[in-house]
Chain A
Amino acid sequence: MSGGLLRICTAGSVDDGKSTLIGRMLHDTRGVYEDQVNAVEKASKNRNAGPIDFSLFTDGLRAEREQGITIDVAYRYFATSRRKFILADTPGHEQYTRNMATGASTAEVAILLVDARNGVRVQSRRHARIARLLGIKDFVLAVNKMDLVGFDREVFEKIVDDFEELLQGASVHAIPMSALNGDNVITLSGNTPWFSGPPMLEYLETVQVHRNLPALPFRFPVQLVSRPNQEFRGYAGQIVSGMIRIGDRVTVLPSGRTARVKRIVTFDGELAMAFAPQSVTLTLDDEIDISRGDTLTIEPAFVGQKFEAELVWMDERPLDPGRLYLLKHAARTVSAEVNHALVLNQIGTVQISTARPLVFDRYTDNRATGSFVLIDPGTQFTCGAGMITEPIRQTATLHTAPLTFAERLAHLARRAGSDEEAAEAVRKALEEMLT
C-alpha cells in the first residue's frame, strides 16, 4: 500500500451528523461487517434516522445510545486499496471538548463538520481552534445536511467564506454533503453539479500530509536502561524524530555529555541506521551516566525549567496556580507550577516552571518533544494538555549571570525615584567604574 497510514479526526457541533458520516464511510468501505449492519438495522427501528442509523456503529457506550449523543472519543479503522486509516471520532458536546483535543493530538487531517442550516457555531469555532492549536494543517470542511437546504450553492459558499477566516494558514477542502444519503461521501453527487470534487473518501486517500519525521532533528528520549548482564548496557527508546547511524556523535541532555553510537540493537538483528518512529536500543562507545528521561540528541534542543505554553484544561477541578502538578513530557515526569488559573475546557497561554530541567522543542517544530500533559497528584487524573510555544530564560540564571556595564547602569537608573536621582546615580557609577 503506497499511501501508508493516515490518522484523521472529526470535529463539529453536536447533531451536525459526525457519527452518521463516519458510519456511512465505514459501511461504504466495508469497515463494518454484515452482522454488525444487521444488529444496527434491528436497533434502528426504534429511532428516527432512516433505515440504518449509521451513528450506532460508532456510539459504543450504552449511555451514548440512550442519549443519542457521542460522549467519548472512539477509534475506528478502515482501509481502501490506497491507504489505511485510523479515525478518531470525537464528541461535539462542550463538556467533552477534552476528547476533541485527544482525537486531534495524533491526527494529521481533521474533518470539520457543519450543519448547512446553522453555519458556523460556537462549537465549530472552538473545534477549529483546538485542531489548529494541536498542529493540524489539513482540513476537510464537510458542509452536511445539504439536502435540507435544497443543495443551495450560495448557502455552501457563505459557510466556506466564514470558515476561511477561522482556518487561516491551513489547507482546506470544502465539500457540500449529505452524510445520511451519501452525497459526495464516496462518489460525486448528481445533486451538486456545481461541485467539482473530489468527494470525501478520494480526498482522504490522496491528500499529501507534510509530516516527514525522519527529516526533523534527532530526538531519542530514553525509556529504559537495559542491563541484562555485565557486558551489555543499552538505552531503549523510540526515535521520536530524525535518524541515527552507527558512529554518530550524540549529546545527552540535560547533562551535555557526548558519546558515539556503537550499536543499534533490535530483536531482528543490528542495524546500521534507524529512523523515526522506530523503537530501538542504542549502545554508546563511552560509559556515561544516562537514565530514563534523558534525551539523546544530535542537533541542539532547548534545556530549561521554564517555558510558555498553550494549555488545554481538561479537569472539572480548575487549575490552581498555588498547587504543584505532575508534568509528563516524553519519558520524564517532574513537578510543575503554572502561573495562572484555567477552568474546564478553557485554553490559555501560561508560563510553566518545572522542578527539574526538560529537553524540549517548540510544539510547532516537533509534536513529540513540544507536548506535555499535567497530572493532578491527588486524583492522578490527566488534567491538562500543553503545547510549548517558547522557552523562558530563568530568573535564577539572570541573577547569577554577571551584569554587563550597560545593564548595571540601566538597573541603577530604574531604581531611582526621580530623573535627578537617576542622573546622579549613573554619574556616580560611571565615576566609580572609570577610576
Chain B
Amino acid sequence: MSIAVSPDLTTELRLDHLRALEAESIHIMREVVAEFERPVMLYSIGKDSSVLLRLAQKAFYPGPIPFPLLHIDTTYKFREMIQFRDEMAKAVGARLIVHTNEEAIGEGTQPFKVGTQRCCGLLKTKALLDALQAGNFDAAIGGARRDEERSRAKERIFSVRDPNGQWDPKRQRPELWNLLNGRIRPGESIRVFPLSNWTEIDIWQYINIENIPIVPLYYAKDREVIVRGNSLIVQEQPFVVTMPGEKPQTVKCRMRSLGCSPCTGAIHSDADTIPKIINELIATKQSERLLRIIDHDQDGSMEVKKREGYF
C-alpha cells in the first residue's frame, strides 16, 4: 500500500491527499450500510463509478460489497460501455440490476425526436426513480463530485430526496464535521455522494496509482467521427444522421466524460495512457462537461434536473 509516511517517524505522520480522500469515502460508505436498510449503488460505468466500485470493495473487505449495483440503461450508451459493465460486475462479484424505461423506448424516445430535456427526463430521471421505487431502496450511492457543476458544489454528502425523489436546495440539512445524518421520514430517501470532495484530477491520479480498469473509450485512438463544431460525434445510433456536407472522418480522439453516444462528444487527443490523460487535463482550458449537451440545454440545467430527481 503506497502510503506516504515521512521517513522519520518521530516528526510527523501524514496521509497524502489521495489516501485522505479514500479514507473519507470509505467512512461515508460504511455509514450508509450501518444506517440504512436497503442501500444501492448507482453504477454508470464511467471513471467515477470505477473509482466508487474500488472504494466499495475496500470499505467492506474482507466481506463482499453489501449492496447491489444499479445501472440505468438508456439503450443509447456506447457498446464498449455495456461490455465493460458486465465484465466488471462479474469481476467484483456484485449483483447488477439493469433498468430501462421500456415504455418510453417502445414509443421511440430519442434525443433528436423529443429533445434532450425530455429524453433525459424519461430515460434517466424517470427510469431512475422507477428503479429505486421498484427495489424499495432507501439510500442510493452515486459518483457525483462537487467540482463538476456549480449546483453540485452545494450538495450535501447525505442528500435528502422527498417521496417523489426530488431535491429542495433550500431545505438542505446542515452537515458538519464528518457527522452524517442518516435519519429520514417515511417515503423519503437519500442520495449519497462519497466522491463529493474529489476533483477530476484526483480521480485520474487515483485510477493511476490503483490500476483501476476503465472503459477503453477514455483512451485516445483513431476513431471514425462526425466533426460538428467543437464536437466530435461517434456515430453509433442509426438516428444520428450526417448533415449535408458532413462526412465521417478518422480522428485521433477520446472521451473525457461518458454519457449517451448521441449526446456526448469526443475530444481531439493523443492521450492513450493514464499519465498522458493527466497531463492533458492539467493543460486543458475546457471543463469536463462542456461536451455534455444536456448540461447546457437551459439556464441552471443541472439544478433543474436535480430538483426533478436526476442523479
A4 with B169, Cβ < 8 A, contacts A35-B287, A380-B183 known: no
Query: Which one of A69-77, A166-174, A409-417 is at the B interface?
Result: A69-77
B176 at the interface (CB under 8 A from A): yes
In angstroms, how far is the closest chain A Cβ from the Cβ of B173? 4
Q: Name B290's contact: one of A5, A33, A72, A277 (CB within 8 Å).
A: A33
Q: Which residues of B contact A265 (CB under 8 A)?
A: 61-62
* Bound-complex Cα distance A61 to B26 (A): 29
Give the bracket for the number of chain B residues in contact with chain A: 35 or more
* Bound-complex Cα distance A406 to B13 (A): 50
User: Interface residues of A, CB < 8 Å — how many?
Assistant: 77
Q: Name B174's contact: one of A98, A224, A268, A278 (CB within 8 Å).
A: A98
Q: Which residues of A contact B150 (CB under 8 A)?
A: 57-60, 74
Scoring A227, A234, A372, A382 by chain B CB atoms within 10 A of each residue's CB, the highest score goes to: A382
* Bound-complex Cα distance A336 to B170 (A): 27
B79 at the interface (CB under 8 A from A): no
Q: Which residues of A contact B147 (CB under 8 A)?
A: 76-77
* Bound-complex Cα distance A281 to B174 (A): 29
Q: Name B146's contact: one of A33, A75, A268, A326 (CB within 8 Å).
A: A75
Contact B174 A228 (CB under 8 A): no
Encoded as 1 (CB less than 8 Å from any B CB) or 0, chain A from 273 to 299 comes to 001111101000000000010000000
Q: Which residues of B contact A227 (CB under 8 A)?
A: 63
* Bound-complex Cα distance A261 to B173 (A): 38
* Bound-complex Cα distance A380 to B181 (A): 8
Query: Which one of A99-107, A116-124, A136-144 is at the B interface?
Result: A99-107
* Bound-complex Cα distance A58 to B1 (A): 37
Encoded as 1 (CB less than 8 Å from any B CB) or 0, chain A from 357 to 400 comes to 00000000001100111010101111001000000000000000
Contact B197 A75 (CB under 8 A): yes
Encoded as 1 (CB less than 8 Å from any A CB) or 0, chain B from 146 to 165 comes to 11011111100000000000
In angstroms, how far is the closest chain B Cβ from the Cβ of A125? 21
* Bound-complex Cα distance A106 to B309 (A): 29
B contact face: mostly helix, strand, loop, or mixed: loop
* Bound-complex Cα distance A364 to B20 (A): 22
Contact A281 B61 (CB under 8 A): yes
A405 at the interface (CB under 8 A from B): no
A433 at the interface (CB under 8 A from B): no
Query: Which one of B29-37, B215-223, B264-272 is at the A interface?
Result: B29-37
Scoring B172, B185, B284 by chain A CB atoms within 10 A of each residue's CB, the highest score goes to: B172
In angstroms, how far is the closest chain A Cβ from the Cβ of B170? 7
* Bound-complex Cα distance A281 to B23 (A): 12
A275 with B31, Cβ < 8 A, contacts A5-B20, A266-B58, A268-B1 known: no
Encoded as 1 (CB less than 8 Å from any B CB) or 0, chain A from 339 to 373 comes to 00000000000000000000000000001100111
A1 at the interface (CB under 8 A from B): yes
In angstroms, how far is the closest chain A Cβ from the Cβ of B183? 4
Contact A279 B27 (CB under 8 A): yes
B196 at the interface (CB under 8 A from A): yes
Contact B59 A71 (CB under 8 A): no
Q: Which residues of B contact A385 (CB under 8 A)?
A: 174, 176
A214 at the interface (CB under 8 A from B): yes
Q: Name B63's contact: one of A84, A223, A226 (CB within 8 Å).
A: A226
A187 at the interface (CB under 8 A from B): no
Contact B175 A102 (CB under 8 A): yes
Contact B178 A73 (CB under 8 A): no
Scoring A36, A101, A232, A271 by chain B CB atoms within 10 A of each residue's CB, the highest score goes to: A36
A-B contact pairs, 11 of them (CB 8 A): A61-B300, A72-B172, A77-B197, A101-B174, A101-B176, A106-B178, A226-B63, A266-B1, A371-B177, A371-B179, A373-B174
Chain A residues within CB distance 8 Å of chain B: 1, 4-5, 32-36, 57-63, 65, 71-77, 79, 84, 86, 98-99, 101-102, 105-106, 212, 214-215, 223-224, 226-228, 232, 234, 236-238, 240, 243, 265-269, 271, 275-279, 281, 292, 314, 326, 328-329, 331, 367-368, 371-373, 375, 377, 379-382, 385
Chain B residues within CB distance 8 Å of chain A: 1, 3, 12-17, 19-20, 22-24, 26-27, 30-31, 33-34, 57-64, 146-147, 149-154, 169-170, 172-179, 181, 183-185, 188, 196-197, 199, 201, 284-287, 290, 299-300, 303
Nearest first, the 6 closest Cβ-Cβ pairs linking A and B are: A60-B150, A228-B63, A33-B287, A279-B26, A268-B1, A105-B176
